[in-house]
Structure 1
Amino acid sequence: MLYFHSWSGGKDSTASIILDHIHGLPPSKIIFSEVMFDRKREISGEPPEHIDFIRSKAKPLFEIWGYEVEIVRAEKDYLDLFYHVTQKSKIPERNGKYSGWLIGGKCSANRDLKIAPVRNYFKKLDLTGTDYTQYIGIALDEPKRLKRLKGSNRISLLARFGFTEQMAYDLCKEYGLLSPIYNFSRRGGCWFCPNQGYAELTHIKMEYPELWEELRKLNAEENVVSHGCKYGKTLEEVEAIIDGKIQNQRRGISV
């Protein structure tokens, strides 16, 4: 039997690895799927603090613990999705245009850039006829998500050892393996994700203006199907909200 951790670097999947280490479970391999914004320029789609945590802190420690850590990437990046030319739309005026911004709640980046490289990794291993288990970071207090694991080769070590989301958070903190994203966000995700909250977007604009400028460049494209970068709101509308929050922060007003 082979064992693999599907690791996002968030509290739940990281806590799963810690539990594996604590309980001395059979040897397993850790797979991290890095979303790329632009492969040619090596611009990661992961928040800068998070990918630094992955590469500089968590991965080296896991390797000291004896785990093999594999970082995989899709052949495509976010720019490939943005500049995909629409050809078979039932709405004629959309054909010939770039796809544009990702649609909130229907994020194709998760499917094409996050999940696909993990699936391709397993295909290349050619595990046909081999029993293997994937450890998935789902906590005990997420019953709906746990229910989806039934009948599959995916299991939750958090559920096995009785760990809730808060307990997973505390365990990561205890081991010094809590991603810095939790300093400004409740969840992980790409820095360009339409599902991000305004706190995360504000953080990107304030701390990484070069990344925000990348979004402005995309916003200059007019020949696109999707003009809304966050649930129908244009980048200008989002930026106006963010600027208001930044002003409030400077005045010491809670946002």
Structure 2
Amino acid sequence: MIEFHNVQKYYGKFHALKDINLTIDAGETVVLIGPSGSGKSSLIRTINGLDPIRDGKLIVNGFDLADKKTNVNLIRKDVGMVFQHFNLYHNKNVLENIMLAPRIVLKRPEKENREFAMQLLEKVGLADKADNMPAQLSGGQKQRIAIARSLAMKPKCLLFDEPTSALDPEMIDDVLNVMKDIAKNSKMTMLVVTHEMGFARDVADRVIFMADGRIIEDDSTEKFFGDQPSTQRARDFMSKISGH
């Protein structure tokens, strides 16, 4: 589904991603962890073209993002993204937030679009909020709506950029439960940037540890959490996370 070959990413002179080589198979759930500023968010933002790469090759669903002829919008049809701060349309109600992209991009018939949007609202436990405006929702509710909005496009891959970091602690479980359901009951490829180690243990097929713009470890979940990380850098990080 996704292939990185010697990918380099810069912000001005800052070298954000260094020599990234990575393959994600279709249907895998992969969690990216690491300290702040390690390059996790930069990595997933390159996958749907939000952040262009400087060098290397990045293949997503058969498209080469490094090729200037590639239509990024074709990639984004199949690669959804859930942001840290929700990014809902504040001038549209919940149902319209979910229906808008399928209507414009997929030309989905209105009746079918509405029915599917309501199914997704049921899935995330918010069918009773269909007519509400985003300002009337809690942070956890907004994030579940954002997930439903991404699912409305029926993507092959879903990217999550620290989806619970802006939430109050009591709202986190509702969002994580929705994400766990997607991971366990769909064939979707998922890449999740998170500090939620319980989520990683429960649903990830692989754990990638990043630091200083590099992939330091790429292990199965069992090996990473069971045998403990193989590098001192990752062990130090996990020790701090556990202590916190």
TM-score, scaled relative to structure 2: 0.29
Larger radius of gyration: 1
TM-score, scaled relative to structure 1: 0.28
Judging by fraction of residues, say which structure has more strand: 2
